[in-house]
Amino acid sequence: MSRICLFPGTFDPVTLGHTDIINRALPLFDKLYIGIGRNVNKQPMFSEEQRLKWLNEIYAHENKVEALVYEGLTVECCKKIGARFILRGIRYVNDFEYEKAIADMNRSIADNIETLFLTCLPQYTSIASTLVRDVLKNGGDVSRFLPELVSRSL
């Protein structure tokens, strides 16, 4: 049985924190889907097409990775793609508390799908897409927080 995983998020924009988690998760899974979730409560800065393009270009060399856009429940997306695992990145303790509540809800909906947490490397702890967007909106330099491909495209 294949180890298929979904790494859901908004990836608005894709940061070095995201790629850190993805790169370190690759040896754990046979297939890793990066799921750009449509969230009606969030107004993204970058289009779905742009975010998909970034992820597909960053991981063009990696046949285990596929990016997609989904709407609705993450566990429903997992069922559609055959994923038995959800991957989440953790930076701080409060991230874990929030993510654990979501993991518990997901488990109550689909008890055959496990959520796995990876902590980010210390140098990426303070990188959050929300903060990167704030710096961008105010004309600041965010290049040190983004993969080179993303930084060049801004």
Catalytic residues: 18, 42, 91, 129
Counting every residue written for the chain, the total comes to 154
Q: β-strand 4-9 against 31-38: which pairing, if any?
A: parallel
Token look-up 């902590």 returns 119
Q: For the chain, how big is the Rg over CA atoms in Å?
A: 15
Pairing label, strands 85-90, 114-119: parallel
Which helix H or strand E contains 55, and what residues bound it?
helix 48-58
CA pair distance 89, 122, nearest whole angstrom: 12
